[in-house]
Amino acid sequence: MTTETEITLTPVSLDEIKHLISERAIQGETVLLNMGPQHPSTHGVLRLLLELDGEEVVNCIPDVGFLHTGIEKNMEAKTYEKAAVMTDRLDYLNNLGNNLAYCMAIEKLADLDVPPRAQAIRVILTELQRISSHLVWLGTHALDMAAMSVFLYCFREREIILDIFEMCSGQRMMTTFFRPGGLWRDVPADFEAAVRKFIKLFPERVNEYERLLTKNPLFLRRTKGIGVLKPETALQYGVTGPMLRASGIAHDLRKAQPYSGYDQYDFDIPTFTDGDTYARYLVRVEEMRQSLRIVEQALNKLPLGPVRSNNRKYVPPPRSEIGVSMEALIHHFKLWTEGFTPPKGSVYVGVESPRGELGVYLESDGGPKPYRVHWRTPSFTNMQILPIIAKGHLVADLVVLIGTVDIVLGDVDR
């Protein structure tokens, strides 16, 4: 069935946003300016309506939804396991983190065990993903301030991480490597060597980025004292992740409510008290180093053993069993045609994504498809802080502030 869709652009009328802009805009004293959805520094398809007094931002009204993909509705129409491919495409810089949250929600719902080896590999891969996400952030953030070389350096290292993902799963970005009850399969033999090589190489590379930016007077002028976020405002607006930590509140779900074996690893939560763009930069750079520490520890004590749960009601049997066991064949058939049916109930699982708390609310009605999936995405919540921190700054600083919130539009719009 093809639906004829009339494609027309419906602009926002002034009446609709009258309550958001100041009296001066209606009298024509300030200028209303549209920024986006196609703008090089909005990091995707974000639209901002700006009210400007000269160069100064009086008001900033974000207009999101240009990437609303209907993922939540689409997941309700698929079985639990098949819906996992949708999760990668939510926050496309943190694919494995999304997989992790979704798989943990199913595991909690179904009370499914995860073998220790799978948990350790999950930690290694999500931490590598965190580094790669921060690298994209750092590259584009610096690019917004016209520091082109940082972008090139960051993507050079990101490729090494993507090569590791590709080695494990065959895909660079949309891996769907984590499955309910463990991993899709074990990592290849040369995985450890590749990660070790990266661990050896990366600290020097972080120092290199820091040499380019941390004491760079131009960078300091653009970031110090820009977009100060007070801790009480941050809490009021539900800001999480590096933004909250840069405002002086050391809240990290990996420490507060350890999941997937994070309690076994020794790492710090970088916290700064300034709450400005520079502090947020420092937090994220330091987080890359801490993530690397976690990866190294997890790799050092990587246990041997299976990587998927043995619960045949949820996890398909291995290929070798199907040929010899009738029961395994039945399970395999049932799981791939009908899917598994977790008990009725609802769970919430939150994990620490590179941007903040990524949560999955999963409700089951006892059937093979999720009844309701809601993604509590960090960018959506953090995005609301942008009008507050942008107020009173110049338009040129607004570009930097969009970068510092570290939004991913796929994450905002879902």
70 binds another protein (CB under 8 A): yes
269: contact with another protein by CB under 8 A: no
The residue type found at 35 is M
Report the residue number, 322 or 395, with the smaller CB distance to another protein: 395
Stretch that binds another protein, among 22-30, 49-57, 154-162, 189-197 (CB under 8 A): 154-162
Given 311, 346, 394, 395, the residue binding another protein (CB under 8 A) = 346
- Residue 236 C-beta: closest distance to another protein, Å: 5
Least separation in angstroms between CB 38 and another protein:
5
Pick one of 361, 367, 369, 395: the residue that binds another protein (CB under 8 A): 361
How many residues bind another protein (CB under 8 A)? The answer is 84
Rule CB under 8 A: choose which of 53, 108, 321, 394 binds another protein: 108
- Residue number with CB closer to another protein (39 or 289): 39
Scan residues 111-130 and list those touching another protein (CB under 8 A): 111
Sheet holding 356-364, edge to edge: 345-353, 356-364, 372-376
In degrees and rounded to multiples of 5, residue 169 shows phi and psi of: -120, -15
> Which positions from 32 through 61 interact with another protein, judged by CB under 8 A?
37-40, 44-45
Bridge partners (DSSP) listed for residue 60: 50
| Interface stretch with another protein, choices 114-122, 166-174, 181-189, 275-283 (CB under 8 A) | 166-174
Q: Which of 350, 368, 370, 403 binds another protein (CB under 8 A)?
A: 350
Nearer Cβ to another protein, position 242 or 359?
A: 359
Rounded to whole angstroms, the Cα distance separating 43 from 9 reads 22
Task: Tell me which of 56, 66, 228, 367 binds another protein, using CB under 8 A.
Answer: 66
With binding defined as CB under 8 A, does residue 156 bind another protein? yes
By CB under 8 A, the residues from 305 to 344 that bind another protein are none
State the minimum distance, in angstroms, from the CB of residue 380 to another protein: 7
What's the CA gap between 236 and 137, in Å, rounded? 25
Compare residues 274 and 363 and give the one whose CB is closer to another protein.
Answer: 363
Near another protein by CB under 8 A, which window of 4-12, 189-197, 298-306, 328-336?
4-12
Residue with tokens 């909690």: 108
Q: Which of 32, 53, 56, 89 binds another protein (CB under 8 A)?
A: 89
Cα 174 from Cα 145, distance rounded (Å): 30
User: Counting contacts by CB under 8 A, is residue 381 touching another protein?
Assistant: yes
Question: Would you count residue 229 as binding another protein (CB under 8 A)?
Answer: no
Contact status: 276 vs another protein (CB under 8 A): no
Q: Which stretch binds another protein (CB under 8 A): 65-73, 193-201, 208-216, 300-308?
A: 65-73
Q: What is the 3-state secondary structure (H, E, C) of the chain?
A: CCCCCCCCCCCCCCCCCCCCCCHHHHHCCCEEEEECCCCCCCCCCCEEEEEEECCEEEEEEEECCCCCCCHHHHHHCCCCCCCHHHHHCCCCCCHHHHHHHHHHHHHHHHCCCCCHHHHHHHHHHHHHHHHHHHHHHHHHHHHHCCCHHHHHHHHHHHHHHHHHHHHHHCCCCCCCCEECCEECCCCCCCHHHHHHHHHHHHHHHHHHHHHHHCCCHHHHHHHCCCCCCCHHHHHHCCCCCHHHHHCCCCCCHHHHCCCCCHHHCCCCCCCCCCCCHHHHHHHHHHHHHHHHHHHHHHHHCCCCCCCECCCCCCCCCCHHHHCCCHHHHHHHHHHHHCCCCCCCEEEEEEEEECCEEEEEEEEECCCCCCCEEEEECHHHHHHCCHHHHHCCCEHHHHHHHHHHHCCCHHHHHC
| From candidates 22, 69, 207, 273, binder to another protein by CB under 8 A | 69
Residue 129 or 297: the one with the smaller Cβ distance to another protein is 129
The stretch near another protein (CB under 8 A) out of 167-175, 189-197, 273-281, 299-307 is 167-175
User: Least distance in Å: CB of 404 to another protein?
Assistant: 18
Taking the complex as a whole, the smallest distance from the CB of residue 201 to another protein amounts, in Å, to 15
